Amino acid sequence: MLNKPIRQKSLHGVRPTRRQTRVANSVEHQARLAKRLTSRDKWIIRMVHEHRVLTAPQITSCAFPSPRSGRQRMRELYQWSVLDRFQPTVDTGSAPQHYVLGPAGASVLAADAGIDPKTLGYRRDRATSIAHSQRLAHAVGVGEFFTALIARAHTHESEHVSAWWSEVRCARHFGDLVRPDAYGRWRHDGREFEFFLEYDLGTETTGRVAAKLSGYARLAASTGIVTPLLLWAPTARREANLRTQLATAWRGLDHPEHLPIVTAAADLLDPDPEAHPSPAEAIWAPLAQGDDQRRALHNLAAAWPQRPRTRPSPQPEHRSSTEIVAPNPMPPAPTMSSTGR
């Protein structure tokens, strides 16, 4: 859950799964998939490729009318080798299935992009290695942040997630200066608010987190784009400690006004899961305001009335012919496949 993020120390390897018959990724299988896969299936393929790993609840909350229908379709995509999956072992209870790109899904993705599958750089062992990575909890947490926004947008017509770049894509475009955990754009009543996200699980010292500000300041200076930095902490206590360090580092910048900073904590959200907690809620506190007023995500732009004018959102002017375009974070409307789902 977004308000109770799982910690990496709670993950203990991968739980063995029951063997299931799966289809080999042959030319014949690819031909059959052309008839079976819906636009929503292809959206899932693009999303797990972009963000490396998404859990079953994250995908179903975004793209399916019910958890049951989502689980059924995800199981089929796994059996067709479109997706691979694993289930971490946790201290208490059971973790959800975690989905990554499978070999058949990689072939579909490459075909849709008009590139050779080898050019895509997909390797199954590399895709599934996230199961044993020390970054797994962090990757799942960032996914929880954005999928909660996407799920909220389904029930609020005036809201929309118009961009969600992965850490890998951000590193590709900004990595010489800074490596955000994500870049996003949130639309409310026709107005967009863009931001970089630093998702904190308390595994780094507060000083190390604050040291990242200089890179964001250099990025703003080199691009002429003022992009707010959102820092998400696991607890309000951790947030308070971070704000002290961040304020000192922020005041030491040459042009602090070019780097708006906002913080929030996961435990400020409604603890009731039925309330569908979301980062869009009024839990965000601007660093330089001098008060404790919390604002909703769409109201953050108003916190900086003297904020320098910005150029359009960061988009690469020249994209490699082998680079997959970032997927639309909002799934397409459900369509019926030949299997009736």
Tens of pLDDT, residues 51-80: 999 999 999 999 999 999 999 999 999 999
Mean pLDDT of the chain: 88
**What's the burial of 209, exposed, middle or buried (CB within 10 Å: 0-12/13-18/19+)?**
buried
Q: State phi, psi for 258 to the nearest 5 degrees.
A: -85, 0
Q: pLDDT, tens digit, for every residue of 177-225? A: 999 999 999 999 999 999 999 999 999 999 999 999 999 999 999 988 8
**pLDDT value at 12 more than 90:** no
- pLDDT tens digits for 104-146? 999 999 999 999 888 888 999 999 999 999 999 999 999 999 9
Q: How far apart are CA 167 and CA 8, in angstroms?
A: 18
Of 133-137, 160-164, 332-336, the poorest mean pLDDT is in 332-336
Please check whether residue 257 is in contact with residue 216, taking contact to mean a CB–CB distance below 8 angstroms. no
When pLDDT is cut at 50, 70 and 90, the band that residue 7 belongs to is confident
DSSP labels, 98-128: EEEE-HHHHHHHHHHHTS-HHHHT--HHHHH
Kindly tell me if the per-residue pLDDT of 255 is higher than 70. yes
Residue 317: pLDDT above 60? no
- Of the candidates 172, 235, 169, 180, which has an alpha carbon nearest to the alpha carbon of residue 209? 180
- The whole-number pLDDT of residue 337 equals 47
Q: Which residues contact 37 (CB under 8 A, 6 or more apart)?
A: 82, 108, 337
Q: At what angle do helices 103-113 and 27-36 cross, to 10 degrees?
A: 70
User: According to the model, what pLDDT value does residue 304 have?
Assistant: 73
Which residue intervals of the chain bear CATH 3.40.1350?
137-303
CB atoms within 10 A of CB 246: 22
Please name the residues in contact with 74: beta carbons below 8 A apart, sequence gap of 6 or more.
44, 56, 59, 60, 83, 85, 97, 99
In this prediction, residue 227 carries a pLDDT of 93
The answer to whether the beta carbons of residues 182 and 196 sit under 8 Å apart is yes
d(CA 279, CA 189): 17
Q: What is the second-level CATH architecture of the domain 8-133?
A: Orthogonal Bundle (1.10)
Entry field: residues in the chain = 341
Q: Candidates 3.30.70, 3.40.1350, 1.20.120, 3.40.50; correct CATH number of 137-303?
A: 3.40.1350
What is the structure's pLDDT at 27?
83
- Does this model's pTM top 0.85? My answer is yes
Residues 148-161, buried b or exposed e (16+ Cβ, 10 A)?
A: bbbbbbeeeeebbb
- 303: confidence class by pLDDT, cuts 50, 70, 90: confident
Of 87, 117, 116, 114, whose CA–CA distance to 105 is shortest? 117
From-to residues of CATH 1.10.10.10 in the chain:
8-133
Are 60 and 67 contacting, i.e. CB atoms less than 8 angstroms apart?
A: yes
